[in-house]
Amino acid sequence: MIDFTHDGHIHTPFCPHGTTDALEAYIETARARGMKTLTFTEHAPLPRGFTDPVPDQDSAMPLDVLPRYLDAIQQLKQAYAGEIDVRVGLEIDYVPGFAEETIAQLEPYAASLDETILSQHFLLIEGDYFPVDFSLETFDVLVDRLGSFEAVIGRYYESLITGLAFEWERLNVKRIGHLDLPIKYEKQYVWERKHVKDVETRLLRAIHDRGFGLDLNTAGLRKPDCGAIYAEAVAAEATALGIPLVLGSDAHSANDVASDFMRIRKKATFR
């Protein structure tokens, strides 16, 4: 069963590409929409030595800001104790080739983290890193490099399977973020999910074997070239395997907290 009162994927004013909306404003929207549990999951600092490939290099908060972020969410947790369950988290990037550095860099903060999400936003192709969800233009470069939309999804899944092998438990990872993120631009391409079914099933089994859950992420509903919920297409198969699903709005503004949760509640896929 999906808990429709838990938003498990929320960004904050500490996000360099988000809004400056105050944390209290996020809480107000959450209350108005009937949320009981909120997990704040700001983009964790990227590993030392990795150069952010997006043009503004603003994918994540810098390492020196992390302690302030953790303090701010901890304070929020205490301020709303008894009213709303605030959890301290991060959205941690699996950057191919940098998993061990990422774990080593963030492990000193692990004791302050209630639960975290592991997400993939970059692909490594022949020695170069490419952003997956930065823009249609940068995504199209990926499709060109790999040959088809399905090839991008396939590579995204294969890369995650490789990434799952690392010791993410040391950072309190509980679930995988927006599993099929490349569908953000799917309306611009002709593709069929059945062509990636084999690798998709292998990935779901690997996630189950590792004991992780999935982030059922409503951000795709707000993207003009998507209109779908990330991971919804695998929700039934994941549930059959015993993989827990946790809703996430991926809000980067106060108004998007718990976005669409009430509307999708009636969907048969989530029963």
Instruction: By CB under 5 A, name the binding residues for Zn ion.
Output: 119
Is residue 250 a contact partner of residue 222, using CB atoms and an 8 Å limit? Answer: no
Residue 80 CB, nearest approach to Zn ion (Å): 23
Place of tokens 């963030």: 106
Residue 64 CB, nearest approach to Zn ion (Å): 19
Residue 98 CB, nearest approach to Zn ion (Å): 16
Measured from the CB atom, the residue of 194 and 220 that comes closer to Zn ion is: 220
Measured from the CB atom, the residue of 119 and 249 that comes closer to Zn ion is: 119
Residue 194 CB, nearest approach to Zn ion (Å): 26
178 — alpha (psi -120 to 50), left (phi > 0) or beta? left
Residue least distant from Zn ion (Cβ):
119
Amino acid in the structure at residue 19: T
The Cα-based distances of 214 to 132, 144, 242, 264 in angstroms read 19, 29, 11, 17
Residue 192 CB, nearest approach to Zn ion (Å): 25
In whole angstroms, what is the distance from residue 123 CA to residue 27 CA?
A: 34
Measured from the CB atom, the residue of 102 and 119 that comes closer to Zn ion is: 119
Biggest alpha carbon distance in the chain? 53
Residue 106 CB, nearest approach to Zn ion (Å): 16
Measured from the CB atom, the residue of 29 and 119 that comes closer to Zn ion is: 119
Measured from the CB atom, the residue of 154 and 177 that comes closer to Zn ion is: 177
Nearest CA to 182 out of 252, 257, 116, 123 is that of 123
Nearest CA to 207 out of 176, 168, 170, 232 is that of 176
Task: Tell how far CA 201 is from the center of its chain.
Answer: 19
Measured from the CB atom, the residue of 150 and 250 that comes closer to Zn ion is: 250
